[in-house]
């Protein structure tokens, strides 16, 4: 009963944080990141552990909660992957994306090798990808909030999609290399689209519902959800079958903001031993994990934007570099996946969450004070307001 009360209280806290943040002009994910990174650890440290005598392991142990987590994870990952596979090739976006991915990826890999020597090969790959990733949904909201030119916005979004496609695909292949057998069932699930289409199934909603069900099954049984998701959506794209939400768009947004995102964030944070996390790194390691991902990503963005032609007359490479450095929801899902697969430690998870928070706030704090971090309408029906 105490575990249930904790989770009910956590959901209320996120609702309050989002409401207060909205009044202050913050998009929901920023308010939620602030609460998860700064508020929840203090709640665990000063109230839940000493007064309720509950550990993080006990808080995430109930079967009903793990089922809820799997459903929320499938919902959020499914929407991110839906954005990722909608890539439309643009040479200028490719010029931006390559340095924006390669420079931070190389920096993250070097950081794992020389500063965090205990990392496994796949963990080293994963850290490099965390350094490189860009949050597609949050980037879109920032671009809408500052009324960025349509063509320039499209180019930045396509660059972010290309970067994230590389990140998700490489992580999926890296995870599969640990247990090649876990690739077989997800690939069979992805290719299930082909015989169903050959048998005459044409309803997009049926394919979409099947996608989220199979994504949940992959996550629940620790199969390779990334390879399944990318493969399934690539097959749908090849067959020209559109994706659509299994539930109405309005209810989907409400479900994500009130349940799925708070659940994903809390599920990861409460598993961290705060005492161990604070002592998990020395000053050099912690400083590197907070600074190097941001600096290397900004450098890669700058090089890519310098290589590409300007998106419009007077375009600022500094502003666009900051925008492409946004992390947010994509990185949260990425980090939770790495933590659940034990590819990163809880201390590393916590440090990278702090970095994600700083990077997401930078466009508003580092000289772009006129940007109101408010929500905006989405360009496609399936796109969630993260």
pLDDT reported for residue 373: 43
User: Which pLDDT belongs to residue 376?
Assistant: 39
Give the torsion sign (CA, 229, 104, 332, 30): negative
Residue 252 to residue 229: CA distance in whole angstroms: 19
Residue tagged 């390879």 (tokens) = 227
Q: Which residues contact 264 (CB under 8 A, 6 or more apart)?
A: 69, 72, 73, 76, 332, 333, 336
Q: Please answer whether residues 89 and 339 qualify as being in contact, where contact means their C-beta atoms are separated by less than 8 angstroms.
A: no
Tally of CB atoms within 10 A around 97 = 28
With the CA atoms of 192, 193, 195 and 199 taken in that order, what torsion angle do they form, in degrees rounded to the nearest 10?
A: 140
Q: CA 169, CA 317: separation in Å to the nearest integer?
A: 28
Judge contact between 137 and 77, C-beta under 8 A: no
User: Domains, the chain, ranges and CATH?
Assistant: 17-365 (1.20.1530.10)
Report helix, strand and coil shares of the chain as percent, to nearest 5. Answer: 75, 0, 25
- What burial letters (b/e) apply to 215-249, b meaning 16+ CB within 10 Å? bbbbbbeebbbbbbbbbbbebbeeeebebbbbeeb
Residue 14 and residue 310: Cα distance in Å, rounded? 40
Which residues does 46 contact at the CB level (< 8 Å), separation at least 6? none
| Tokens read off for 358 | 């700083």
Distances (CA, A) of 206 to 49, 75, 200, 290: 45, 16, 12, 43
CA 166/CA 335 separation, integer angstroms: 16
Q: What is the pTM of this model?
A: 0.80
CB 359 within 8 A of CB 294: yes
User: For residues 99 and 307, is the Cβ–Cβ distance under 8 A?
Assistant: yes
Q: What is the end-to-end Cα distance of the chain in Å, rounded?
A: 31
User: How many Å apart are CA 239 and CA 252, to the nearest integer?
Assistant: 26
pLDDT of amino acid 367: 45
CA 231 – CA 2 distance, rounded (Å): 41
DSSP label at 134?
Answer: -
Q: In 338-366, which positions are buried (b, 16+ CB within 10 angstroms) versus exposed (e)?
A: bbebebbbbbbbbbbbebbbbbbbbbbee
Per-residue pLDDT tens, the chain, 386 aa: give them.
Answer: 789 999 999 999 999 998 998 888 777 888 888 898 889 988 998 889 888 888 888 999 899 999 999 998 888 888 777 766 666 667 899 999 999 999 999 999 999 999 887 788 999 999 999 999 998 878 877 787 677 888 888 889 889 888 988 998 898 888 777 677 667 888 899 999 999 999 998 888 899 999 999 999 988 887 878 788 888 988 998 888 888 777 777 887 788 888 988 998 898 888 877 767 666 677 888 889 999 999 999 999 999 999 998 888 777 888 899 999 998 778 888 898 888 888 888 889 989 988 988 898 888 775 443 444 444 333 443 443 33
SS3 (DSSP) at 28 = helix
- List, in sequence order, the alpha helices (H) in 24-62: 28-34, 40-43, 56-59
As a whole number of Å, the CA-based R_g of the chain is 20
């Amino acid at each position: 009963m105490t575990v249930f009360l904790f989770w009910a209280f956590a959901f209320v806290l996120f609702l309050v944080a989002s409401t207060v943040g909205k009044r202050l002009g913050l998009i929901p994910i920023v308010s939620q990141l602030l609460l998860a990174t700064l508020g929840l650890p203090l709640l665990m440290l000063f109230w839940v552990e000493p007064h309720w005598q509950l550990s993080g392991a006990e808080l995430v142990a109930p079967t009903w909660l793990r089922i809820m987590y799997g459903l929320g994870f499938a919902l959020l990952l499914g929407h991110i992957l839906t954005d990722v596979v909608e890539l439309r090739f643009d040479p200028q976006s490719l010029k931006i994306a390559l340095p924006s991915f390669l420079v931070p990826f190389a920096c993250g890999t070097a950081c794992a090798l020389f500063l965090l020597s205990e990392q496994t090969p796949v963990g080293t790959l994963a850290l490099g990808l965390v350094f490189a990733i860009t949050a597609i949904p949050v980037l879109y909201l920032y671009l809408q909030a500052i009324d960025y030119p349509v063509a320039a916005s499209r180019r930045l979004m396509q660059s972010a999609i290309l970067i994230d496609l590389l990140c998700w695909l490489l992580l999926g292949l890296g995870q599969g290399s640990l247990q090649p057998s876990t690739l077989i069932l997800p690939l069979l699930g992805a290719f299930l689209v082909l015989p169903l289409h050959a048998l005459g199934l044409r309803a997009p909603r049926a394919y979409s519902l099947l996608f989220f069900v199979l994504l949940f099954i992959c996550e629940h049984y620790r199969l390779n959800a990334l390879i399944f998701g990318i493969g399934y959506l690539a097959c749908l794209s090849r067959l020209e079958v559109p994706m659509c939400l299994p539930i109405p768009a309005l209810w989907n947004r409400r479900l994500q903001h009130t349940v799925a995102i708070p659940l994903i964030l809390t599920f990861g944070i409460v598993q961290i031993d705060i005492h161990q996390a604070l002592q998990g790194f020395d000053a050099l390691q912690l400083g590197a994990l907070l600074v190097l991902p941001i600096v290397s990503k900004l450098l890669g963005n700058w090089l890519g934007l310098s290589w590409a032609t300007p998106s419009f007359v007077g375009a600022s490479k500094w502003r666009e570099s900051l925008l492409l450095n946004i992390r947010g929801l994509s990185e949260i899902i990425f980090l939770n996946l790495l933590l659940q697969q034990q590819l990163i430690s809880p201390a590393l998870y916590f440090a990278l969450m702090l970095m994600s928070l700083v990077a997401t706030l930078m466009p508003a704090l580092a000289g772009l004070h006129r940007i109101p971090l408010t929500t905006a309408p989405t360009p496609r029906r399936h796109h969630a307001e993260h």
